[in-house]
Structure 1
Amino acid sequence: MTPEQRLAAAGHALPPAPTPRGAYAPFCVADEWIAVSGQTCRRDGAPIAGICRAEADVAPARQAAQVAMLNALAALKAACGGELRDVAQVTRVRGFIRCGPDFTRHTAVLDAASELLALAFPGHALPARTAVGAASLPDRTWIEIELDARLAPAGAQPPP
């Protein structure tokens, strides 16, 4: 199965590739390296706004983290020419969680995005990851995620 098929089988559809909302590219490809710009939790262009202040906020923030990861994967797919199976490895994930000063469950929120990544690429090692709190994110969204990946060399068979 392809990464897209594994996601779809679990009920997750990749959205269309994101359109930049400013003076930047949704991704940059340099040789076999890809950097995906920060992707927030938007569905059909509409932001999912929220802020983590207490334990009760973890569940909706985790759902927002999945949406942000799906948007990041859509950008990654576009960077790969339309085929996520061309990804040899996602090497780094950075997650920014909009939260109050006393919130400490950043990793629990971002785990939802990492779990989605592991579902798409079960043969890959987990990437390095950073989870940090932010006082503000674009359009008051819960989450922003960026990632770095490496393409499989031309003609090589990437992991399943």
Structure 2
Amino acid sequence: MDVYERLKELGIELPPAPPPGGLYSPIKLFGSNLVYTSGVGPTDPTGGAVYSGKVGTDLTLEEGQAAARLATINLLSVLHNHLGDLNRIKQIVKQLGFVACPPDFHMQPAVMNGSTQLLMDVFGDPAGRPARSAIATNVLPGNIPVEIELLIELKD
């Protein structure tokens, strides 16, 4: 399956990759075929927050899932920008998601489902179904509600 055809079927047009928010590399290739991404949030192409606040107080669960989905679209843009072709991706190995929320919010995995479902829709199952951690935090940079990192295996 061609990833770009699948994105088109899903009605997704990749935006320009968001700029780094600091002194770091957006991706790091290591080993013979592994890629680790820096954390990416639900921002517009200039790096401005599209969603802001905490899930469970400022945002509903559904808005948190939409923010996680947008962060994942941004991750795909970063990967496309640096790899040149998303069809080089063999599988999504690991997903790490941070969810800004109040102490009594316990639905971090459900928020991250907005991201994971998109990866499965784009890359199929099992290639798009990663091992995953969903972590609560009190605040994220720029007051974004989610930040997501990926570990990816490339095809030989």
Contact 1:4–1:14 under 8 Å retained in 2: no
Q: Which runs of 5+ in 1 are unaligned?
A: 154-160
Give the TM-score, by structure 1 length.
0.88
Partner of 2:154: 151
Letter in 1 for 2:11: G
Partner of 2:28: 28
CA distance in 2: counterparts of 1:8 and 1:95, whole angstroms: 26
Letter in 2 for 1:40: G
Which residue of the other structure, out of 96, 99, 104, is the alignment partner of 2:98?
Answer: 96
- Structure number with the higher strand fraction is 1
Partner of 2:41: 40
Partner of 2:118: 116
The sequence identity of aligned pairs, in percent, is 31
C-alpha RMSD of matched pairs (Å) = 1.5
Shift of 1:21: 1.7
Shift of 1:136: 0.7
Partner of 1:131: 134
Q: Which runs of 5+ in 2 are unaligned?
A: none
Partner of 2:88: 86
Contact 2:119–2:128 under 8 Å retained in 1: no
Shift of 1:44: 2.6
CA distance in 1: counterparts of 2:148 and 2:105, whole angstroms: 18
CA distance in 1: counterparts of 2:34 and 2:112, whole angstroms: 23
The 5 Å alignment of 1:56-67 reads 57-67=60-70
CA distance in 2: counterparts of 1:52 and 1:83, whole angstroms: 33
